Amino acid sequence: MGALSIQQVRKAFGPVEILKGIDIEIEGGEFLILVGASGCGKSTLLNMIAGLDVPTSGSIRIGDRDVTHLPSRDRDIAMVFQSYALYPNMSVAQNIAFGLEMRKVPKAERGAAVDRVAKMLQISHLLERKPGQLSGGQRQRVAMGRALARDPKLFLFDEPLSNLDAKLRVEMRAEIKRLHQRTRTTTVYVTHDQVEAMTLGDRIAVMRDGRVEQFGTPDDIYSRPATRFVAEFIGSPAMNFVQAQRGGDNGLNALGLPLPATPEQRAALERATGSPLSYGVRPEDLTLAGAGEAGALPGTLAMIEPTGPETYAMVDTPLGTWTARVPGKVAQQVGEAVALAWRGASAHLFDADDQRVA
C-alpha cells in the first residue's frame, strides 16, 4: 500500500456530484500535484484527505491506515492554506509552535523544533515579530514553518502561492521544492497554475469536472497528453488545434493542406474507423519560415509578443490563428507574409468525438 491511496472517492451535495470516482495512489516521499481549472473538485478532494470533509463513498488511506472517517487531528497531517491562517496576536515563534503546544509537546522540544524550521526557512531573525509586521512571502514561510515543525506523514498545500506577486511566487516555488528535496515528506499540492504543476510535481493528476483526466509524471502529461483537454490545459502558449481529415501524402490534411504525422499516427489512421480528428501542435514545435517555403503553412504575421529570451508569434493562416514560440527576436514585421514550419512530426492527434488520443 502506498503512502496515500484514494480509491473510488465520490462526493455529492444533494443531487450534484462534485467528485465522480477518484483513484490515485502515490508512494512515500512523492510530491503529488492536483491541478485543474476552478470548480474541478481539487480543493474538495484535498479537504477530504485532510479530514475537513467526508466522502459520500470510497476510501482514503494514509500509509496502512484507513482514515476515511478519521478526524483531522488523528491523521498525522499538516496543512498550509492559501490565506496563511496565522494568529495575529501571536509572534512568529508562537505561531510555529502552536500545533506542538496543542499536542502537549514539552517546551524544550517545541523550542528546538522552532529553531530548526526557522533556520531551514531563514526566518530566525523574525521569530519575535507579529504577522502584521511581515511581508506576504515571510507570512507564507511562517505558515510552512508551522507545518514543518510537526514532522507529519503528509503535507497538504492548498494553493499556497496564489496571494503572492509574480517574483515571490517564483522564489517560494523554489523554496517549497528545496524543502521537499530536504525532508522527502509525502506531499499533496493543489494549484490551478500549470507552471507550478510542471516544476514541483513528481506526479500530476489533471482534474476536470470531478474526474482525473490524466495521472502521470510531468513528462507524461506534457509529451503524451491522453486527451485534448490535457493537451490544451498544460503548456503555455496553448497548443494549436485544427480539425483534420484523412488523406494526403502524410495521411492527414486540413482544408487540403497536408499535415505532418508520426509513423505511429499514420499507422493509427490506417486502423481508424473514419471518425473526425483533432490535430494539435505545440507552439515550440513550430518555427517562422519565409513565405512560400515548401511544406510550410502559409500565413500573415498578426502579432508579436516578445518575452526576452523568446518570442510568441501569432500567425493568421488558412487553418486559423496559430502561435509559434521561437527563440530570440523575430526579424519579420507584423503584416508580413510568413510561413509556419514544423520541427519534425511532433504533433498530437485526438478523436474529435471522445477527445481522447487517437
Residue 232 has pLDDT above 60, yes or no: yes
Q: Residue 36 has what pLDDT?
A: 93
Stretch 200-215: mean pLDDT = 96
Residue 15 has pLDDT above 70, yes or no: yes
Higher pLDDT, 9 or 352: 9
Q: Residue 182 has what pLDDT?
A: 87
Q: Residue 214 has what pLDDT?
A: 97
Residue 192 has pLDDT above 80, yes or no: yes
* Residue 258 phi, psi dihedral angles, 5° rounding: -70, 145
Higher pLDDT, 270 or 112: 112
Per-residue pLDDT of 315-328, as tens digits, reads 999 999 999 999 99
* Residue 234 phi, psi dihedral angles, 5° rounding: -95, 125
Strand pairing of 252-254 and 203-208?
A: unpaired
Tallying the residues shown for the chain, one arrives at 358
pTM of the predicted protein model = 0.88
CA atoms within 13 A on the CB side of 246: 16
Q: 280 has which bridge partners?
A: 241, 348
Residue 162 has pLDDT above 90, yes or no: no
Q: Give the mean pLDDT of the chain.
A: 89
Residue 16 has pLDDT above 90, yes or no: yes
Residue 238 per-residue DSSP state: P
Q: Residue 148 has what pLDDT?
A: 84
As a whole number of angstroms, the distance between CA 243 and CA 175 comes to 43
* Residue 203 phi, psi dihedral angles, 5° rounding: -140, 150
Q: Residue 248 has what pLDDT?
A: 55
Per-residue pLDDT of 274-286, as tens digits, reads 667 888 999 999 9
Report the candidate in 157, 149, 154, 188 with the shortest Cα–Cα distance to residue 62. Answer: 154
- The domains spanning 4-232 and 237-351 adopt the same CATH topology: no
Q: Residue 270 has what pLDDT?
A: 66
Residue 345 has pLDDT above 70, yes or no: no
Q: Residue 136 has what pLDDT?
A: 84
Residue 1 has pLDDT above 50, yes or no: no
| E strand map for the chain | 4-13, 16-26, 31-35, 57-62, 65-66, 77-80, 154-158, 186-191, 203-208, 211-216, 240-246, 252-254, 257-258, 277-281, 286-290, 297-306, 310-317, 320-327, 337-342, 347-351
Domain ranges (residues) in the chain = 4-232, 237-351
Q: Residue 35 has what pLDDT?
A: 96
Judge whether 96 and 117 are in contact, CB under 8 Å: yes
Among 54-58, 339-343, 349-353, which is the least confidently predicted range?
349-353
Residue 346 has pLDDT above 80, yes or no: no
Residues 6+ apart with CB under 8 A from 285: 342, 343, 344, 346, 347
Q: Residue 172 has what pLDDT?
A: 83
As a whole number of angstroms, the distance between CA 292 and CA 29 comes to 53
Q: Determine what percent of the chain is predicted with pLDDT higher than 70.
A: 95
Per-residue pLDDT of 80-112, as tens digits, reads 888 878 999 999 999 999 989 888 899 999 999
Q: Residue 212 has what pLDDT?
A: 97
Higher pLDDT, 289 or 60: 60
At the top level of CATH, the class of 4-232 is alpha beta
Would you call the peptide bond into 55 cis, given omega within 30 degrees of 0 as the criterion?
Answer: no
| CATH placement of domain 237-351 | 2.40.50.140
Which uninterrupted H or E stretch holds 151?
A: none
C-alpha angle 192-195-200 in degrees, rounded to nearest 5: 95
Helix spans in the chain (H): 42-50, 92-102, 107-121, 136-148, 166-183, 194-200, 218-223, 228-233, 263-271
